[in-house]
Amino acid sequence: MAASAPRPWWHYLWIGVIGRSPKRTAVRIAVYVVVAWGVFGYVLRPMRVAGISMEPTYKLNQVNFINRWSYLKREPQRGDVVAVRMAGESVLYLKRIIGLPGERLRIRQGQVYIDDEPLREEYVKNRAPWNESEMELGPDEYFLVGDNRGMASRDHEHGAVRRSKIVGKVLL
């Protein structure tokens, strides 16, 4: 039995990158591309935190993923951190849901009251003496606010939004 000639270095590189079956590798790559396109095009959306309104929970420039399918079978819940369209189609804000449809909500000296009961919010580390008049949320409205309540209320995007403006729930 004759010994075979040694193979050139590029043969091993080819096997390492492409594999022993180029057709199978091409099919595998095509499947990965389609799955990634579907997941990141329709289910998960990456989002970079661009402000300080959610600190200390979410830091400036932190990247998170928004699950756009999270509310297909259930409605948003109090405490959920969501991506919401508050200023047009392409601008997303990261906010926490504190008020649910049909509830009466007010903020007095930084304390949130839901139906005249104080809301416990362990995630809020700093509180400025915000004041918001009592409001009743509509049947399709949620009250959203950031976790950094140490900022002045006028510098903080918050308020009631319709359910259709909520894009999805934050994963991380």
Max mean pLDDT range (19-28, 85-94, 137-146, 153-162)? 137-146
- Does residue 79 sit in the same domain as residue 131? yes
The per-residue pLDDT for range 9-54, each reduced to its tens digit, is: 877 777 777 777 888 888 888 998 999 998 888 889 888 888 888 9
> For every residue of 3-23, which 3-state class applies, written as one string?
CCCCCCHHHHHHHHHHCCCHH
Q: Is the pLDDT score of 124 beyond 80?
A: yes
CATH of the domain at 156: 2.10.109.10
- Give me the pLDDT at residue 118, please: 95
User: Which tens digits make up the pLDDT trace of 150-169?
Assistant: 888 888 888 899 999 999 99
What's the predicted TM-score (pTM) here? 0.79
In a domain, 147, yes or no: yes
Q: How far apart are CA 162 and CA 22, in angstroms?
A: 51
The answer to whether residue 3 sits within a structural domain is: no
pLDDT at 2: 62
Residue 117 has pLDDT above 90, yes or no: yes
At 5 the pLDDT is 80
Residues 132, 55 within the same domain: yes
How far apart CA 104 and CA 113 sit, in angstroms, is 8
* Same-domain pairing of 66 and 38: no
Q: Based on the fold, state whether residues 29 and 76 are members of the same structural domain.
A: no
With respect to residue 18, please indicate whether it lies within any of the assigned structural domains: yes
Task: Indicate the pairing of strand 63-67 with strand 166-170.
Answer: antiparallel
pLDDT in tens, 61-74: 999 999 999 999 99
Q: Are residues 114 and 143 in the same domain?
A: yes
pLDDT at 68: 93
- Total domain count, the chain: 2
One domain for residues 125 and 63: yes
77 and 101 in one domain?
A: yes
Q: Do 143 and 92 reside in the same domain of the chain? A: yes
Note whether 143 and 124 are within 8 A (CB). no
58 part of a folded domain? yes
Mean pLDDT of the chain: 88
135 and 56 in a single domain? The answer is yes
User: Are 114 and 64 found together in one domain?
Assistant: yes
Q: Are residues 141 and 125 in the same domain?
A: yes
Whether pLDDT at 88 is above 90: no
Please indicate, yes or no, whether residues 61 and 23 belong to a single structural domain of this protein: no
pLDDT recorded at residue 24: 83
Domain with 99, as residue range(s), is: 49-170
pLDDT of residue 128: 87
